């Protein structure tokens, strides 16, 4: 319970492709069901035919049927000014994420029977300051207080640590979700979880494997995206996603598409077989990208792979055998999945929420975290009597245990300098132009003096939410200035957040009580477009039966037909 409101604090895994909400009950974390009784909510927002906003599985299915009416993968744009179009409106990434958060908040309130106003939300370890602030903005728009942000692999470590708090071991957590990849090296000793290093790739996930396989199949069929159009490409991608899932437990998978509409108005039936070896050859470049972050994390932690006791796989994309093979090769041991890969991060977020609320059942559990990036300022230095500018001067190094506060000493670079422009960057390159700029701050009113005679101390304080505070002190004076970096791409002002909340309240949202029927029908229609033969005829019959039940308006008939349709869809997707 929140100490201030007495209401539960929920944990949210705000994923690129799927999101979940969880809570701790009786000392154990559990994922809460959404409006259609499932644990995973697709991170997709769409408009139905009546211009009502849909979130989740129904929205994902609309993305197959009418991709121009759906938006997905917007988490990758968090912290930017990128706009997405939906109907006659444009949305910022924070606003689309807020719609997902709002749906999860509502699901939690129904499941728990109480109002929710606070959440712990997870982000990829390699999310920078701008992306973390954007996540907090999304929470505010959704009506959630998000004081605590936690790295996804750290959340997974919490979930594993809760289940293994009486053991001592060092582990590597490999988290490959729908859109991002993180690896964390950690050690668990008597309930204390010490994060030792994190690395990752913010643009590597299951969605990239889908796109690579789709491009490969299109080339094999001598088709290109322009020729089959956005609807055809969406259908082909859905068929490839189904094939990818089947290849996780089979050496080959059929891929069928009936009546693939071409841009010239013609149609083409697609029937082919994809082998696991063929798919893995297509993914070779993506699989190779897993190696660099793993080796980076091991190097930062100063740990040899042989000293890792357990390799823990997290994220739905780790179900692919080729991912487990890469992990086994790197660590020379079989990776483990003690917790459901899709749920581990949400379960850990719930544990962090319980810790924040002071749950006595978790008194013996402690977690430390680290800064994933080096952060510093732009400086200049002399080399062979020449002034070199644009040099990155780190103040707080990556791998530093947080919360942390570090200070560095600087002097003026020019004679009679009357101001200092403090440019603040994050990343690891020696030159600022290759790093990410977080913001800048100007210090005016410096007394003119020769170069290097005026000094300042710059202190960086980095908290557990990944928020950076900067303190500047003029040496020899009482002048001190403290600020939090505010001028970031995608950062919303309080006024903009308020406007976004008002706009969300005015949106025509699909009624929640009708969502199970809408979702069942949209999911079945989307699948109907990507299967062929007798299976397609069986599905068409089930869809017709469900539509007839809806027309009858008899609840028992509707629930019976919906259950039958959902079961058939699950069978056909296997």
pLDDT digits (tens, 9 = 90+) for 189-231: 877 888 898 888 888 999 999 999 999 999 988 888 877 888 8
pLDDT band, residue 488 (cuts 50/70/90): low
- Please give the pLDDT value at position 561: 87
- Please give the pLDDT value at position 448: 80
Please tell me the chain's helix, strand, coil percentages from 3-state DSSP, rounded to the nearest 5: 40, 30, 30
Confirm whether 429 is domain-assigned: yes
Q: How far is CA 234 from CA 5, 61, 170, 267, 348, in A?
A: 45, 10, 42, 15, 33
Q: Which of 434, 465, 496 is the last residue of a domain?
A: 465
Residue 568's domain spans which residues? Answer: 512-573
Asked whether the predicted pLDDT for residue 491 surpasses 80, the reply is no
pLDDT band, residue 4 (cuts 50/70/90): low
pLDDT band, residue 358 (cuts 50/70/90): confident
Q: Does 368 or 289 have the greater pLDDT score? A: 289
Q: Give the span between the Cα atoms of 137 and 563, in whole angstroms.
A: 38
What is the per-residue pLDDT across 45-79, written as a single tens digit (0 to 9) for each? 999 888 889 999 999 999 988 899 999 999 999 98
Q: Does 290 or 413 have the greater pLDDT score? A: 290
Instruction: Enter the tokens of residue 118.
Output: 């606070």
Mean pLDDT calculated for residue range 301-312? 94
Q: Which of the residues 57, 75, 95, 310 is marked catalytic?
A: 75
* Peptide bond between residue 542 and the one before it cis (omega within 30 degrees of 0): no
Q: Does 451 or 5 have the greater pLDDT score? A: 451
CATH number at residue 444: 2.60.34.10
Q: Give the span between the Cα atoms of 192 and 365, in whole angstroms.
A: 6
Asked whether the predicted pLDDT for residue 292 surpasses 70, the reply is yes
Phi, psi of 108 (to 5 degrees): -65, -40
- Please give the pLDDT value at position 18: 95
Q: Kind and range of the H or E element at 255?
A: strand 252-261
**148 strand-pairing partners:** 120
- Please give the pLDDT value at position 527: 86
The yes-or-no answer on residue 117 being catalytic is: no
pLDDT band, residue 1 (cuts 50/70/90): low
Q: What percent of the chain has pLDDT over 70?
A: 97
Confirm whether 427 is domain-assigned: yes
Instruction: Label residue 64 left, alpha or beta by phi (over 0 means left) and psi (-120 to 50 means alpha).
Output: alpha
Confirm whether 193 is domain-assigned: no
Q: How far is CA 131 from the centre of its chain?
A: 10
- Please give the pLDDT value at position 412: 82
Contacts of 114 (CB under 8 A, 6+ apart): 7, 8
Confirm whether 402 is domain-assigned: yes
Residue 379 shares a structural domain with residue 461 = yes
- Please give the pLDDT value at position 486: 57
Mean pLDDT calculated for residue range 151-167? 83
- Burial, 418: exposed, middle or buried (Cβ in 10 Å; 0-12, 13-18, 19+)? middle
Q: Which of the residues 118, 129, 152, 342 is marked catalytic?
A: 152
Pick from 315, 28, 9: which is nearest to 148 by CA?
9
The yes-or-no answer on residue 137 being catalytic is: no
pLDDT band, residue 29 (cuts 50/70/90): very high
Mean pLDDT calculated for residue range 168-192? 89
Q: Which of 406, 441, 465 is the last residue of a domain?
A: 465
The yes-or-no answer on residue 75 being catalytic is: yes
When mean pLDDT is compared across 10-14, 93-97, 111-115, 481-485, the lowest value belongs to 481-485
Mean pLDDT calculated for residue range 423-441? 87
What is the per-residue pLDDT across 248-263, written as a single tens digit (0 to 9) for each? 999 999 988 877 766 6
> Strands 480-484 and 70-72: what pairing?
unpaired
Q: Give the span between the Cα atoms of 63 and 526, in whole angstroms.
A: 9
Residue 455 shares a structural domain with residue 517 = no
For 273, the 3-state DSSP assignment is: strand
Q: Which of 448, 465, 482 is the last residue of a domain?
A: 465
Average pLDDT, the chain: 88
Confirm whether 152 is domain-assigned: no
Q: Which of the residues 13, 107, 118, 129 is marked catalytic?
A: 13
Q: In total, how many domains does the chain have?
A: 2
How far from each other are the two terminal CA atoms of the chain, in whole angstroms?
Answer: 40
Confirm whether 539 is domain-assigned: yes
- Please give the pLDDT value at position 380: 85
Residue 524 shares a structural domain with residue 447 = no
Q: Does 289 or 164 have the greater pLDDT score? A: 289
Asked whether the predicted pLDDT for residue 419 surpasses 80, the reply is yes
pLDDT band, residue 443 (cuts 50/70/90): confident
Confirm whether 445 is domain-assigned: yes
Q: Does 446 or 409 have the greater pLDDT score? A: 409
Q: Which of the residues 57, 129, 137, 175 is marked catalytic?
A: 175
DSSP for residue 359: -
The answer to whether 290 touches 199, Cβ cutoff 8 Å, is no
Asked whether the predicted pLDDT for residue 2 surpasses 60, the reply is no
Confirm whether 362 is domain-assigned: no
């Amino acid at each position: 319970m929140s100490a201030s409101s007495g209401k539960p604090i929920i944990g949210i895994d705000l994923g690129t492709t799927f999101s979940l909400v969880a809570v701790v009950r009786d000392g154990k974390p559990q994922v809460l069901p959404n409006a259609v009784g499932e644990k995973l909510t697709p991170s997709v927002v769409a408009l139905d035919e009546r211009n009502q906003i849909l979130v989740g599985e129904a929205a994902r299915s609309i993305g197959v049927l009418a991709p121009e009416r759906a938006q997905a993968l917007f988490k990758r744009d968090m912290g930017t000014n990128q706009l997405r179009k939906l109907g006659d409106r444009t949305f910022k990434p924070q606003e689309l994420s807020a719609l997902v958060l709002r749906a999860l908040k509502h699901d939690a309130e129904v499941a728990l029977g109480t109002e929710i106003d606070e959440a712990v939300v997870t982000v990829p370890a390699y999310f920078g300051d701008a992306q973390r602030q954007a996540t907090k903005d999304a929470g505010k728009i959704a009506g959630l207080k998000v004081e605590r942000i936690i790295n996804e692999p750290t959340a997974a470590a919490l979930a594993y640590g809760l289940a293994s708090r009486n053991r001592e071991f060092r582990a590597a957590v490999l988290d490959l979700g729908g859109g991002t990849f993180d690896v964390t090296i950690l050690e668990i000793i008597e309930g204390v979880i010490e994060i030792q290093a994190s690395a990752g790739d913010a643009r590597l996930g299951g969605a990239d494997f889908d796109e690579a396989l789709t491009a490969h199949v299109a080339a094999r069929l001598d088709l290109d995206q322009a020729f089959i159009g956005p609807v055809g490409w969406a259908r082909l991608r859905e068929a490839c996603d189904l094939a990818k899932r089947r290849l996780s437990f089979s050496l080959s998978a059929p891929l069928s598409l009936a009546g693939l509409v071409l841009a010239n108005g013609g149609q083409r039936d697609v029937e082919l077989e994809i082998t696991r070896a063929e798919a893995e050859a297509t993914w070779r470049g993506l699989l190779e990208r897993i190696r660099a972050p793993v080796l980076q994390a091991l190097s930062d932690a100063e740990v040899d792979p042989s000293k890792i006791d357990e390799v823990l796989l997290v994220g739905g994309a780790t179900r692919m055998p080729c991912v487990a093979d890469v992990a086994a090769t790197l660590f020379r041991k079989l990776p483990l999945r003690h917790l459901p890969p899709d749920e581990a991060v949400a379960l850990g977020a719930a544990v962090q929420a319980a810790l924040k609320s002071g749950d006595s059942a978790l008194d013996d559990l402690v977690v430390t975290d680290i800064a994933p990036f080096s952060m510093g300022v732009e400086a200049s230095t002399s080399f062979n009597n020449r002034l070199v500018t644009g040099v990155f001067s780190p103040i707080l190094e990556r791998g530093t245990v947080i919360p942390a506060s570090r200070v560095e000493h600087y002097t003026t670079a020019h004679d009679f300098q009357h101001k200092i422009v403090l440019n603040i960057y994050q990343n690891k390159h020696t030159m600022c132009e290759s790093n990410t700029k977080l913001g800048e701050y100007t210090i005016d009113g410096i007394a003119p003096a020769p170069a290097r005679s005026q000094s300042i101390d710059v202190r960086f304080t980095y908290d557990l939410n990944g928020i950076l505070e900067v303190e500047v002190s003029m040496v020899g004076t009482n002048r001190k200035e403290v600020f939090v970096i505010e001028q970031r791409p995608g950062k919303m002002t309080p006024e903009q957040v308020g406007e976004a909340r008002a706009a969300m309240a005015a949106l025509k949202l699909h009624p929640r009580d009708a969502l199970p029927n809408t979702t069942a029908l949209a999911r079945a229609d989307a699948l109907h477009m990507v299967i062929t033969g007798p299976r397609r005829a069986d599905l068409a019959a089930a869809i017709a039966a469900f539509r007839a039940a809806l027309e009858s308006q008899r609840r028992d008939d509707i629930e019976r037909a919906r259950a039958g349709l959902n079961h058939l869809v699950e069978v056909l997707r296997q």
